[in-house]
Structure 1
Amino acid sequence: MSLHHPPSTLAALGRTWIEAWNGRDLDRVLALYEEAAVMTSDRIPALGFDASGTLRGKAALRAYWGKALGLLPKLHFSLIELFVSPDSVVVFYENERGKKICEYLRLNAAGKIVQGSANHLPH
């Protein structure tokens, strides 16, 4: 199977990702990820998880995102734009606090996210 995904498929995944978060549906979010997915964010150490800022595997992602959802009862992502490449989508959005974020999501041949990186504006 090719790593080349049609732009429409990637855009749909980006929209589904936003919808899953806005629905506070952690199972739906995690269903988009490969079992051994890797996630990097400066929020990971800030919430008391791995100091490197990188988590590996769905169990670690569930623990981290579950804690984050508990701390952010008003979480809401407003989609600004989607950018695609043959094997990735960047979801550019604004969160409920007015912060603009780019989430880089790289997919495997099966269309599951294998790598995610939350990119924030430098302070």
Structure 2
Amino acid sequence: MNAKKFAEEWIKSWNSHDLEDIMKHYADDLEITTPMIKLAGGIESGSLSGKENVAAYWSKALSKFPDLMFELIDVTSGVNSVALYYKSIMNKKAVEVMFFDENGLVNKMIAHYTDL
């Protein structure tokens, strides 16, 4: 897998605000953990499971942040994983570590942000 190509496509999908295009990167058994879930979703654990649950959350987030625009800073790759470093919403910098299943889809994602 080409980490840079994935990162560029992922950023482009998010910047399009097209939820269907965004979700094409993710597996049905997706698990995500991000402080944004706690902050924006009020879910204390900061985690969600299942592609449908995540899509519903992201749909709300996209409507809450209509000017969302990510800017890729750097990307690194690991074993069946990538880490994207990018400028996120509210001018925060983020690192997202994404793990891929055997089909090349993200099935686990953990996000980190500069001070929220």
Matches of 1:24 and 1:104 in 2, distance apart?
21
User: Secondary structure of the residue that 1:16 maps to in structure 2?
Assistant: helix
1:111 partnered with 2:104: yes
Structure 1: give runs of 5+ residues left out of the alignment: 1-5
User: Secondary structure of the residue that 1:70 maps to in structure 2?
Assistant: helix
- More helix as a share of residues: 2
Structure 2: give runs of 5+ residues left out of the alignment: none
Contact 1:32/1:113 (8 A) holds in 2: yes
TM-score normalised to structure 2 length: 0.92
1:56 partnered with 2:23: no
1:14 partnered with 2:7: yes
Give the drift of 1:49: 4.7
Give the drift of 1:117: 1.1
Runs of 4+ in 1 over 4 A off after TM superposition: none
Q: Percent identity?
A: 29
Give the drift of 1:27: 0.8
Match of 1:86?
79
TM-score normalised to structure 1 length: 0.87
User: Matches of residues 19-98 of structure 1 in structure 2 within 5 Å?
Assistant: 19-98=12-91
Alignment size in residue pairs:
116
Matches of 1:11 and 1:113 in 2, distance apart?
15
Matches of 2:43 and 2:33 in 1, distance apart?
10
Match of 1:101?
94
Higher CA-based Rg:
1
